[in-house]
Amino acid sequence: MIIVAEGLEQTYSSLGRQLTVLANINLIVEPQGFVAIVGPSGSGKTTLLGLLAGLDRPTAGNVLLDSQDLSLLTEDQRARLRAERVGFVFQNFQLIPTLTALENVLVPAELRRSLGGYDRGGAEDRALALLGRVGLSDRIDHYPAQLSGGEQQRVALARAFANQPKILFADEPTGNLDTETGRTVIDLLVRLNAEEKTTLVLVTHDPELAARAHRIVRLSGGHIVPEPDAHQ
C-alpha cells in the first residue's frame, strides 16, 4: 500500500469555536492507483489532500506515506520525503513567477540534488523532455506571466513529474481552466500518470475528470460517504 490513512481527524479552532473539518477518515491507496476525491465546497477535500501529502499534521490519526509514518517525522523530514517521492499539481498552477518555464521544471530536481541526489545534466534533459511531452518545447524560456493558463498548468505538470515521484497529488487541476483546455490537461495528466507509473490522488469538482479515476472517494461534511457503485 502506498498511502494508508487511519482515523484521520482535523479540527481547527476559529473564533473560540472548535471546527471539525475531517472526522474518522480511513483510506488506503494502492501503488499506481488513481483516486479522485470529490465532494461539495467545504467538505474537507483539500484538507484531506494536505494531510495525505504531509503538508499539515492531523489532530488525530496518522498517515503512512510510502511506508513512512508521517506522524514520526519532523517538518523538514516530511519536506524531504515530498522532495524525493511526491509531486504536486495546484488549482492555480503555482509556478514561481520569477523563474522561466524550464527553471520551474528544474526546481524539484535541483532540490533533490541538493539533498544528495543525482546528476544535473540528466535533470535538465529530463526537464526538456517533459516540457516536450506537454507540448511546450518552444516556450521553455518564457516566464509564467507570458504563458496562458493552460500552458502554465502544463508546465506545472512537467514540474510535478520531474522527479519521477511515486505519488502525485493534484488539487483541482482543471478548476481554473476552461472546459477545452481542461480536457487537454486531463489527458496529459492521465497519460503521464500511466507512463510514469505514478500513484495519483486528485481533488476535483469536475465530473469528467473524476470519472476517469479508478476510484472515487466522496466527502461530505468531513466524512467519507460510502460509494457503492465505485469501480475498484
Q: Can you give the binding site for other proteins, defined by CB under 8 A? A: 46, 49-50, 53, 55-56, 75-76, 79-84, 86-88, 90, 94-99, 103, 107-108, 110-116, 143, 145-146, 159, 171
Secondary structure (DSSP) of 10-44: EEEEETTEEEEEEEEEEEEE-TT-EEEEE-STTSS
Q: Kindly state the smallest distance separating residue 156's Cβ from other proteins, in Å.
A: 10
**In terms of CB distance, is 30 or 56 closer to other proteins?**
56
Q: Kindly state the smallest distance separating residue 184's Cβ from other proteins, in Å.
A: 23
**In terms of CB distance, is 30 or 90 closer to other proteins?**
90
Q: Mark out the alpha helices in the chain (DSSP H runs).
A: 45-52, 75-85, 101-114, 120-133, 149-161, 179-196, 207-211
Quote the CA–CA distance of 13 and 19 in Å, as a whole number: 6
Task: Please count the other Cβ atoms lying within 10 Å of the Cβ belonging to residue 39.
Answer: 22
Q: Cell numbers 497529488 label which residue?
A: 169
Q: Kindly state the smallest distance separating residue 101's Cβ from other proteins, in Å.
A: 13
**In terms of CB distance, is 148 or 187 closer to other proteins?**
148
**In terms of CB distance, is 21 or 185 closer to other proteins?**
21
Q: Kindly state the smallest distance separating residue 132's Cβ from other proteins, in Å.
A: 21
**In terms of CB distance, is 96 or 225 closer to other proteins?**
96
Q: Is residue 228 within 8 Å of 215, Cβ to Cβ?
A: no
Q: Kindly state the smallest distance separating residue 226's Cβ from other proteins, in Å.
A: 26
Q: In degrees, to the nearest 5, what angle opens at C-alpha 42 toward C-alphas 182 and 14?
A: 135
